């Protein structure tokens, strides 16, 4: 089993509710990754957002910055919004992080929980699933073939092209991040790809049927069960005293949930929800 920490690079806020410059948060983040590397955490993941409340829109930049100041921690995206990205460019950037870090880069691909990247990169939300399907197909093919010939709907074709540089061990580990839809685990099971379940709210036990379904699909597709890998991503905050830690984290977590919630029509985040979330049946 491996233990990893994922971050989204949430910006700090001043007293007036305005985000502070991204630089401070990014440099702090790199110090945190250095520390994680030193204390022996196995994996670090960084998310992709295109909003004023987050400092990271290009995860591979943080991973590259961390590569030179760490020795053994694995460096991955969590997630790369693959649907609205160019898999060629993503692969090149991660292959370079992989080469610089001596084989420590991983791509975690997702369809995107936030949707700001779609109008920014010129994609239509009505293609949400088709985009992910096609781009994942291209990403996996780049990982397998060099040179590559490929044709799709959403990106110009590739005719006998080299995607360079190549990663250190020939291939990059590619994970699929799953929010909770059966469609996503079907795809991952069929392709034999490792899955990261994002359990952000609700009772983790509810994910069990989805996990069992994924395992069955993976096995039925004839993939090697000795290589079966699955992960769980949950919100965490650590401290020595349970009550004091919870009290310290609540305002931070509530403010963030309410910032995101404003765009999504969520009701105000309550202490009651929070207490449930950190209970034995909760997601934190």
| Residues contributing to the site for its own copies (CB under 8 A) | 21-23, 26-27, 30, 50-52, 54-58, 60-62, 64-69, 86, 88-89, 92-93, 95-100, 102-103, 119-123, 155-159, 161-166, 168
Q: Toward its own copies, which CB reaches closer, 64 or 178?
A: 64
Q: Toward its own copies, which CB reaches closer, 150 or 214?
A: 150
Nearest by Cα to 62 from 31, 89, 99? 31
Tell me if residue 85 falls in helix, strand or coil.
coil
Q: Toward its own copies, which CB reaches closer, 124 or 220?
A: 124
CB of 231 to its own copies, least distance (A): 25
Q: Toward its own copies, which CB reaches closer, 219 or 262?
A: 262
Name the DSSP letter for residue 103: S
Residues paired with 54 in a beta bridge? 10
Q: Toward its own copies, which CB reaches closer, 33 or 195?
A: 33
Q: Toward its own copies, which CB reaches closer, 99 or 273?
A: 99
How far is CA 186 from each of CA 176, 178, 180, 210, 278, rounded to the nearest angstrom?
11, 10, 11, 10, 30
CB of 24 to its own copies, least distance (A): 8
Q: What are phi and psi of 4, to 5 degrees?
A: -125, 165
Angle CA(120)–CA(54)–CA(65) in degrees, nearest 5? 95
CB of 69 to its own copies, least distance (A): 5
CB of 81 to its own copies, least distance (A): 12
Residues paired with 107 in a beta bridge? 174
Residues paired with 77 in a beta bridge? 46
Q: Toward its own copies, which CB reaches closer, 153 or 227?
A: 153
CB of 29 to its own copies, least distance (A): 9
- Burial zone of 255 (CB within 10 Å; 0-12 exposed, 13-18 middle, 19+ buried): middle
CB of 171 to its own copies, least distance (A): 14
Do residues 218 and 176 lie in contact, with contact meaning Cβ atoms separated by under 8 Å?
no
DSSP 197-254: EE--SS-GGGGHHHHHHHHHHHHHTT--GGG--EEEE------SSHHHHHHHHHHHHH
CB of 40 to its own copies, least distance (A): 20
């Amino acid at each position: 089993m491996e233990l990893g920490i994922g971050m989204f690079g949430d910006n700090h806020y001043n007293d007036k509710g305005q985000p502070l410059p991204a630089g401070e948060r990014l440099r702090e983040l790199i110090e945190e990754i250095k520390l994680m590397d030193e204390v022996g955490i196995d994996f670090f993941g960084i998310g992709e957002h295109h909003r004023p409340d987050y400092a990271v829109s290009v995860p591979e930049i943080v991973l590259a910055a961390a590569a030179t100041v760490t020795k053994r921690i694995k460096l991955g995206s969590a997630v790369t919004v693959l649907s609205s990205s160019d898999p060629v460019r993503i692969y090149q950037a991660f292959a370079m992080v992989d080469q610089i870090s001596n084989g420590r880069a991983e791509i975690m691909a997702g369809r995107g929980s936030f949707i700001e990247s779609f109008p920014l990169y010129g994609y239509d939300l009505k293609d949400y699933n088709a985009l992910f399907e096609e781009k994942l197909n291209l990403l996996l093919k780049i990982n397998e073939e060099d040179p590559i010939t490929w044709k799709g709907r959403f990106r110009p074709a590739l005719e006998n092209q080299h995607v360079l540089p190549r990663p250190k061990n020939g291939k990059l580990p590619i994970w699929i991040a799953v929010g909770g839809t059966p469609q996503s685990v079907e795809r991952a099971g069929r392709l034999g790809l490792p899955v990261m379940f994002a359990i952000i709210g609700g009772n983790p036990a509810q994910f069990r049927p989805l996990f069992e379904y994924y395992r069955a699909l993976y096995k039925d597709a004839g993939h090697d069960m000795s290589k079966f890998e699955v992960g769980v991503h949950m919100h965490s905050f650590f401290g020595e005293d349970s009550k004091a830690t919870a009290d310290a984290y609540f305002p931070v977590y509530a403010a963030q949930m309410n910032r995101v919630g404003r765009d999504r029509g969520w009701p105000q985040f309550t202490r009651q929800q929070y207490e449930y979330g950190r209970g034995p049946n909760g997601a934190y």
